[in-house]
Structure 1
């Protein structure tokens, strides 16, 4: 159990540092920066899945090759690009808190669209509570007077919505696919899509990478590659429910890391905002009383 907790913390820390690395690559055009980070991650995760996790890589391509191609766009390219674009104007700490857009959107979609998540008023209360926490973190006055930051926040949140939609897509289309190998190919296809866009829109071969190599490598190796490997290692050891707890650790770790590394001031609004966001996520993940009784009695909900 202690080992699983350590893996959970290390994975969450890796994911939270992602926002710091991205902030160090602001001098590079966004599509090019995202493509470089994702390509480095692919170099890490492909052999990691094959040799560290000992999973056969070709299974998803033989069964349903179009799934990782689509996921390369919806799970990797667009969501990651939205974060890189947003961090040109928002802090890494705020970006870490904004990452909660994914669980919030997923909860709403699975509750009211796919009906996979049981509805309860208490769980629904978690949504406005998380939104209130986000607004508290940023500050009402700051939002009203910095429309450029608000626009960047909306860009990142839209990427989170795309990622949440992808999650529902994956649940329906990849039940018979190896999740480890699928993730590896998804990152590779995401990198390919980003490089095609970079060559079409930007000029990656003429970009000066000298001052950002550490940020690109850090994000590719740690923030994406090792973070994904850690997550799936945790799924294999402790199950998906335990692994999903990373979502509760990333916002506070990201905000704390941003304050420590970049000397950003930590206000009472920041602390209260993170607390409210976490409370909202706890409520959304709360299992309804009837479902708990069904689990205890060994029956399934009707």
Structure 2
């Protein structure tokens, strides 16, 4: 029951996060937004870590946490923000629903899991849903229009890899500490990237609306939400944790319509339902294959 309460709570938080991202892209920039949301998310967790300090083992698997921080936060959040410079928050959230499918595919490709026939059908069905969203204009993914739908697909692959990697390599680490550390790693990565391309946010020019969106995205959408996500991943499974994307598009569409006046089109709804069908077929317990995974525990 606790896992399902966590699932529902996370879907509400992340549904609104897509709206916050849309609001913050222009004033903060892509790298700036990722840096600020990750930094705020990490800072809000420090009091919890301090309160639990006597129970926490601070001997951390730094190499693995760096990889998790990059693939579960820095890269996908940057790609999502980049996508929302082209598509609306509702479309981004629907494509983000491919995450369970991407998680299953990455599990098969790199982590020694085998997919049943229904799961392969689910993967194909999910991509049919993406084609519906694109009006079957496949060439858009191969040209300059890749930014938007294509970058969102890359974000789901990052989530899939990060989820499987966390389950395999990050074991026994306190949830609050793991979340704070990976968010700090992601914030430093984004800061370095921002300085390299000159994408540094002018914080002094933020208005109250921007500050409110940043607090919502950083404190709730990054810090608290990530604790819930890692809890679902470690107490449940990567596949269960990523099923949050079942519900996120629904709440994101409602928030986008109410707060940003974004249209809810027939293509958007049809694509969402097809993707959900793919997720349903893909979200089956996977078996271990007899061959060794490409990424082993010794790596």
Normalising to structure 2: TM-score of the pair?
0.81
2:30 is the alignment partner of 1:33: no
CA 1:169–1:29: 2 relative to 1, 3 Å: same
SS of the equivalent of 2:104 reads helix
2:103 is the alignment partner of 1:106: yes
2:132 is the alignment partner of 1:136: yes
How many pairs are equivalent?
284
Q: Distance in 2 between matches of 1:244 and 1:129?
A: 17
Partner in structure 2 of residue 194 of structure 1: 190
CA 1:71–1:4: 2 relative to 1, 3 Å: closer
Partner in structure 2 of residue 91 of structure 1: 88
2:169 is the alignment partner of 1:170: no
Partner in structure 2 of residue 185 of structure 1: 181
1:188 deviates by 1.3
Q: Distance in 1 between matches of 2:141 and 2:108?
A: 35
Contact between 2:10 and 2:228, CA under 8 Å: does it hold in 1?
Answer: yes
Q: Distance in 2 between matches of 1:114 and 1:239?
A: 17
Partner in structure 2 of residue 121 of structure 1: 117
Structure 2 residues without counterparts, runs of 5 or longer: 289-299
Pairing 1:1-302 to 2, within 5 Å after superposition: 1=1, 5-27=4-26, 28-49=28-49, 51=51, 54=52, 59=57, 61-116=58-113, 118-140=114-136, 149-202=145-198, 204=200, 206=202, 208-210=205-207, 212-232=210-230, 239-240=236-237, 243-287=241-285
1:121 deviates by 1.2
1:105-155 deviation per Cα after TM superposition (whole angstroms, max 9, x unaligned): 221122244332x43211210011111112223433698599655422222
1:35 deviates by 0.7
1:142-184 deviation per Cα after TM superposition (whole angstroms, max 9, x unaligned): 9859965542222232233233223333233223433442222
CA 1:174–1:8: 2 relative to 1, 3 Å: closer
Structure with higher Rg: it is 1
1:223 deviates by 1.4
Moved more, 142-151 or 160-169: 142-151
